[in-house]
Structure 1
Amino acid sequence: MSTTDTNRDRQTGEPGWLLVTRREVVSRITDKSFLIGTALMVVMLVGFIGFTAWQDERTSDYDLAATPDAVAMATAVADNASAIDDKVSVKLVEVADEDAAKAALRDEDVDAWLHPTDDGWQLTSESSEQDSLTTVVEGVVRQQVLTENATAAGSSVEQLEAGSTVSTDFLRGDAERASVAEAVGFVFVFLFYFAALIFGMQLASSVIEEKQSRIVEIIAAAIPLRHLLAGKVLGNTALAVVQLLVYVAVGLVGLSFTSYKSYVPALSGPTVWFIAFFLAGFVALACLWAVAGSLASRTEDLQATSTPLTMLMLAMFFGGLSLDGRGQVIASFIPPVSAVVMPKRILAGGVDWWEPLVALGLLAVFAAITVMVGERLYRRALLQTGGRVTLRQAWSSAE
């Protein structure tokens, strides 16, 4: 903080933490790297959503070769392809014989060749399998053969398939939301990890810079160190939340232009919960990053002082992605992992109304305790410049 800021504080009576918060916000939003990074992330997000929308609307056209003995089956495939996959269109190409079919494949005049074998049917392609076409052909051939066999046996396909349907269900939530929850849950976990890591590293680095240059001694003479910590944490939290809101808004708006637009209203509630959990969890981690910076006396020390915090964040990241079942339920109430696990459970559905409230309350208590403990460590380590400070030294040293 400059002398001008100090004088302004004395003249206006503005609390020191507010001045520091303003300085953190202004310095970051005028930083080209921050703006460019945010813009690039938005462009990537828009590009991904645009690509997804394009893929959803895109129809795959296939040319299917068939010799005279396979024309009837290939015709059935062409006529019924859209019933199995509305994004697949099949055009029949009749060829004289096997050699002609292979020549058409080599010349890339057709995408695949359908022909009978001793025990069924075979779909031959030039060098790589056509996944969508294979799925359609398998479905049509199965239906055609079942119909023929049922007729020969004096029965019907419906009678043969009676009682063979297998459906899925969930004790908590439903199957339709499960796949959406998995994808959006990954985005939530990634955004939390990304923001906490990037903003945390920058916060810790700014603490080290002020400590190494001895500017912090001038600041300490003007405002209490707890105000300095509060300003840094609040400033970075505000920036992280604003950036998160930009990403979420772009994501929801973009999603409304895809085939998943029907899920947008259902995602709004869980998104609000995620922002609330993000806020509480980020405050706690931001305070710990400030402590990591205060324990170091130079930039090279940050890797050592931040290792426990980095391991904690990795545990949150992989725990948020991999936990399921009872383990996920338990973790959704344990701070700080609950910051990423409970929003995923809310997305999947089947969560009682009180569970997010309890989890958020526990996370808020954890954040409050972290801030109190972190404030003590920060104050007692910040002005020690004789080398790297251990947690024990910071906790027991005199102020």
Structure 2
Amino acid sequence: MNTEKNTDRNAVRNTEPAWLLVTRREVVSRITDKSFLIGTLLMVVMIVGFLGFTAWQDEKTETATLGATPDAVAMATAIADNASQVDDRLEVEVVELADDTAAETALRDDEVDAWLHPGDDGWQLTSESSEQESLTDAAQVVVRQQVLADNAAGAGTTVDALEAGSSVSTNFLRGDAEKAAVAEVVGFAFVFLFYFAALIFGMQLASSVIEEKQSRIVEIIAAAIPLRHLLAGKVLGNTALAVIQLLVYLVVGLVGMSFTSYKSYLPALSGPTAWFIGFFLAGFVALACLWAVAGSLASRTEDLQATSTPLTMLMLVMFFGGLSLDGRAQVIASFIPPVSAVVMPKRILAGGVEWWEPLVALGLLAAFAAVTVWVGEKLYRRALLQTGGRVSLRQAWSAAE
């Protein structure tokens, strides 16, 4: 009975495509690897820690003690009453001091953060050794308002009349300042996650190719399955792992963001995030195939640095281009593969992108991935079984099938 069951299992396995067997082997071997699990967990902890710190900062209230001598108590009280209108996370407590000597002593003993007193031309805020930025900003605004109100009353007019036509407002063609800041941070996360995944999984893919080639195991594998199936299984397996890891990071990040003051932007981020996953998939497949070629060109682990240098430089161009490009250069780069894999999602985040632009960019990236896979498959097959030293691209391309 058991023999019949084992025979049935073997029959099922034998009917599976070779590339699927390789894919399953890649996924299982990596997903059960402690280093992979620990690395993923550490990244999750970093994301949670960053979002937790952000949430804590949002709720954090700064308390400042403001010392005032008798001639400044009224102005200090006005600052304490109106400081929250300037900075809603600032609370000011007034400490009345007998005279200037008492004020200086209180500063040296850290009993107060700053001392407010009349100056030669207005008011002066004195601190012990460093400026209290939040308190200074609030004091400047409130003192200006109070002095303007007193001067206006003395002139028989109002502050509104004096300030009529003097205000300068800001506006953005796309959204507001806070939304632009959120888009910038999330855009950086998109670029970093793509670079991180492509580099880590790419190096591991190339290293596994070198190990199989150096140990001559690949010759045994080549006798059992076509090399294109081996390449497809490696690329698909690592792509599946990278996407799984990416989804974990995105879910943790979006869930964590719901506990911060930026949770109102979550609905607006769902569309760009979906686009990013699509661009990530197409771009990663192309780069993974190139990493496999870099591994096949090397005969020893020491050769990988040389064979992967062009690919590493390409990834650095993508990383810094994704972060620094703006304006017309960003628009042009968003249609050029493989840079478009990181630039177009950033443009979608910022807004103002026509509905057809992501579709065209993704189509071009998918076409680039298809060409890369076709060329990479030929280079991989022709270089993988060549031993005796590093293989150049020209030698791999001109080698016999």
TM range (shorter): over 0.9
1:197-220 alpha-carbon deviations (Å, 9 max, x no partner) = 111111111111111101111111
Q: 1:128 maps to what in 2? A: 130
Q: 2:386 maps to what in 1? A: 384
Give the AA of the match of 1:310. T
User: Displacement, 1:176?
Assistant: 4.0
Q: 1:245 maps to what in 2? A: 247
Structure 2 residue 14 is matched with structure 1 residue 28? no
Unaligned 5+ runs, structure 2: 1-8
SS at match of 2:391: coil
Once residues 154 and 326 of structure 2 are traced to their aligned partners in structure 1, the CA distance between those partners, rounded to angstroms, is: 48
- Equivalence map 1:8-157=2 (5 Å): 12-157=14-159
- Equivalence map 1:1-399=2 (5 Å): 12-399=14-401
Q: How large is the RMSD of aligned CA atoms in angstroms?
A: 1.7
Once residues 146 and 12 of structure 2 are traced to their aligned partners in structure 1, the CA distance between those partners, rounded to angstroms, is: 87
Give the AA of the match of 2:162. L
1:369-390 alpha-carbon deviations (Å, 9 max, x no partner) = 1111111111111111111111
SS at match of 1:183: helix
Give the AA of the match of 1:265. P
Give the AA of the match of 1:73. M
Q: 1:4 maps to what in 2? A: none
Once residues 348 and 41 of structure 1 are traced to their aligned partners in structure 2, the CA distance between those partners, rounded to angstroms, is: 26
Once residues 178 and 65 of structure 2 are traced to their aligned partners in structure 1, the CA distance between those partners, rounded to angstroms, is: 33
Contact between 1:333 and 1:362, CA under 8 Å: does it hold in 2? yes
Q: 2:6 maps to what in 1? A: none
Unaligned 5+ runs, structure 1: 1-6
Contact between 1:46 and 1:250, CA under 8 Å: does it hold in 2? yes
User: Displacement, 1:326?
Assistant: 1.1
Once residues 13 and 264 of structure 2 are traced to their aligned partners in structure 1, the CA distance between those partners, rounded to angstroms, is: 55
1:194-248 alpha-carbon deviations (Å, 9 max, x no partner) = 1111111111111111111011111111111111111111111111111111111
Misfit runs of 4+, over 6 Å: none
User: Displacement, 1:69?
Assistant: 2.0
User: Displacement, 1:123?
Assistant: 2.2
Contact between 1:174 and 1:348, CA under 8 Å: does it hold in 2? no
Once residues 298 and 148 of structure 2 are traced to their aligned partners in structure 1, the CA distance between those partners, rounded to angstroms, is: 73
Q: 1:3 maps to what in 2? A: none
1:165-207 alpha-carbon deviations (Å, 9 max, x no partner) = 3233334555442111111111111111111111111111111
**1:46–1:11 Cα change, 3 Å:** closer
Once residues 9 and 21 of structure 1 are traced to their aligned partners in structure 2, the CA distance between those partners, rounded to angstroms, is: 19
The number of aligned residues is 394
1:64-85 alpha-carbon deviations (Å, 9 max, x no partner) = 1111222121111100011111
SS at match of 2:115: strand
Once residues 223 and 12 of structure 2 are traced to their aligned partners in structure 1, the CA distance between those partners, rounded to angstroms, is: 12
User: Displacement, 1:8?
Assistant: 5.3
SS at match of 1:155: coil
SS at match of 1:272: helix
**1:79–1:10 Cα change, 3 Å:** closer
Once residues 8 and 162 of structure 1 are traced to their aligned partners in structure 2, the CA distance between those partners, rounded to angstroms, is: 86
